[in-house]
Amino acid sequence: MPTHRIRKPRHPSITPLGAAGEVTGSCHLVDTGEARILLECGLFQGGRNADARNRRRWPFRLDQIDAVVLSHAHLDHSGLVPRLVRDGYQGPVYVTPATRDLLDIMWQDAAHLQERDAQWENKWRLRAGKQPVEPIYGIDDARAALSCLEAVDYHAEMTVAPGISLRFLDAGHILGSAIVCLHLEHSRGRTRLVFSGDLGNSETVLLRDPETVAEADLVLMESTYGDRNHRGLDETREELARVLAEAHAGGGNVLIPAFAVGRTQELLYTLGQLERQGRLPQAQVFLDSPMAIAATRAYERHVNLFNHADRAELAGGGLQGWLPALRLSESTEDSMAINRISGGAVIIAGSGMCSGGRIRHHLKYNLWRREAHVVICGFQAARTPGRALVDGARRIRLLGAEVAVHATVHTLGGFSAHAGQDQLLAWAHAFRTRPPVWLVHGEPASSEALAGCLHDRLGFRARPAAAGKAIDL
Ligand code: ZN
């Protein structure tokens, strides 16, 4: 967890404790003097010392936190709440109803992975005569955290602590994602604080565009893609159609490693569109991931949050009715049966970076085949098998074995769930005045680039926030 101890600030303030100069570990302490809330409580992911940072002492007193507010379910924003609860936090955790549904899936899965990782690590630790490690949290902690969730609908006004009220707006990033608007009363007056959360890509299917906000006194804004724009979605859809045609002609399978929440549902919708246009020649699309299946069901329970056009197209049939070729593979036996199919299928499975999950088995059975195709459509962190494939590795290690890469690997760039630079600027442009903007959730180059554009093109005073450095309200 956050590296910096917080001294009692002299003024009402907000202090970024993570996701400052980086894109994970989102966590900001809002202190009005009267009350304290945590805005996000996310896991640090990737990087050599992520585990140590996730285990670090909290830089605040848990019994002084009145409430936690989460913008969305992604673990880099929400994934340390079970540890917070395990360590003694007993207050409410405010989320949207759809975020609550997704957290039910994601926290239990995260706890399961952490228990498994600790078990695995302890095998060699015991052999080496070292102390065993504890998982950061376990399944019981995840369940206890789930019982703290309080759902608040978009646009509803909610008092979350003395002098602090909350309103969620749709951020269009993943299902249930929110822009967080806080009204803060403190000794120096009032502050309307707007936290962008992660802003969606307005080209994304299914979800609505991020809502804009007119009034703010202080803005905390994400800057993940502050230095670039994405390739268009139409172009990406055409590329996918070409891969499907090529694979069909050559008789190979198409493997798509995909994140369970968001990317998978976008893919199902897009494949359904292609099927309607007669451009999905494959008769079977396997969704081989219990977590992605559960997430798809959560999306289907909240179709009322989809944008009008896509919701009308789905016409009440949900994503499964939309894509008749879809086959859900929940059990291990179902998954293993897919391994016997040597061609003619589309296989969507996790993990998105091929570092775990069932996709590894499918890669093992297909990568060495010249007629197979792999479609990479999400971010691939350094030192993951997915990144090795993107970088053109001729052999990769999977499940303890070397596998030759003879399949064709395609990288599709247009499926981002984040707003690109132009979209970030358009969102900021909607503020009626030009409040100070602090940039978080971006690598330094992205945050600096966005700060420059916000200033030069729109007249904002925008700066990257620094971890542990309080911003006065
Ligand atoms: Zn996110």
pLDDT digits (tens, 9 = 90+) for 391-439: 999 999 999 899 999 999 999 988 999 999 999 999 999 999 999 999 9
**CA–CA gap between residue 106 and residue 89 (Å, rounded):** 20
Mean predicted confidence (pLDDT) in 244-273: 96
Residue at which a domain ends, from 388, 415, 442: 415
**CA–CA gap between residue 441 and residue 415 (Å, rounded):** 19
What was the pLDDT predicted at 7?
53
User: Are residues 361 and 291 both part of a single domain?
Assistant: yes
What was the pLDDT predicted at 9?
52
**CA–CA gap between residue 251 and residue 329 (Å, rounded):** 22
Ligand 1 is an ion; residues with CB less than 5 A from it: 74, 198
User: Are residues 327 and 436 both part of a single domain?
Assistant: no
User: Are residues 383 and 446 both part of a single domain?
Assistant: no
CA of 417 to the centre of ligand 1 (A): 8
- As given in the structure block, the two tokens for residue 19 are 């996701």
Q: pLDDT tens digits, residue range 80-120?
A: 999 999 999 999 999 999 999 999 999 999 999 999 989 98
**CA–CA gap between residue 1 and residue 42 (Å, rounded):** 9
- The reply to whether 4 falls in a domain is no
Please name the residue that has the structure tokens 């036996």.
Answer: 333
Residue at which a domain ends, from 367, 390, 415: 415
What was the pLDDT predicted at 5?
58
Residue at which a domain ends, from 393, 415, 437: 415
- The reply to whether 1 falls in a domain is no
**CA–CA gap between residue 250 and residue 396 (Å, rounded):** 23
User: Are residues 221 and 251 both part of a single domain?
Assistant: no
End-to-end CA distance of the chain: 24
User: Are residues 77 and 174 both part of a single domain?
Assistant: yes
CA of 402 to the centre of ligand 1 (A): 33
Is the pLDDT at 47 greater than 90? The verdict is no
Helix (H) or strand (E) holding 103: helix 97-127
User: Are residues 345 and 433 both part of a single domain?
Assistant: no
User: Are residues 119 and 158 both part of a single domain?
Assistant: yes
CA of 72 to the centre of ligand 1 (A): 7
φ, ψ at 16 (rounded to 5°): -70, 130
CA of 213 to the centre of ligand 1 (A): 19
CA of 262 to the centre of ligand 1 (A): 10
Number of independent structural domains in the chain: 2
pTM listed for this prediction: 0.93
User: Are residues 132 and 249 both part of a single domain?
Assistant: no
- The reply to whether 325 falls in a domain is yes
Geometric angle at alpha carbon 338, from 336 and 341, rounded to 5°: 130
CA of 78 to the centre of ligand 1 (A): 10
- The percent of residues above 70 in pLDDT, for the chain, comes to 98
User: Are residues 358 and 327 both part of a single domain?
Assistant: yes
CA of 70 to the centre of ligand 1 (A): 11
Count CA atoms closer than 13 A to 280's CA, side-chain side: 22
The whole domain housing 43 covers 13-228+417-472
pLDDT band at 4 (very low <50, low <70, confident <90, very high): low
Handedness of CA 173, 178, 181, 182 (dihedral sign): negative
Mean predicted confidence (pLDDT) in 232-242: 95
Cis peptide upstream of residue 416 (ω within 30 degrees of 0): no
CA of 74 to the centre of ligand 1 (A): 5
Q: Residues 344, 284: contact at Cβ < 8 Å?
A: yes
User: Are residues 38 and 151 both part of a single domain?
Assistant: yes
User: Closest Cα to residue 462, out of 421, 434, 426, 443?
Assistant: 434
- The SS3 assignment for 470 reads coil
User: Are residues 319 and 265 both part of a single domain?
Assistant: yes
User: Closest Cα to residue 216, out of 186, 181, 169, 177?
Assistant: 181
**At 29, which CATH number?**
3.60.15.10
User: Are residues 133 and 56 both part of a single domain?
Assistant: yes
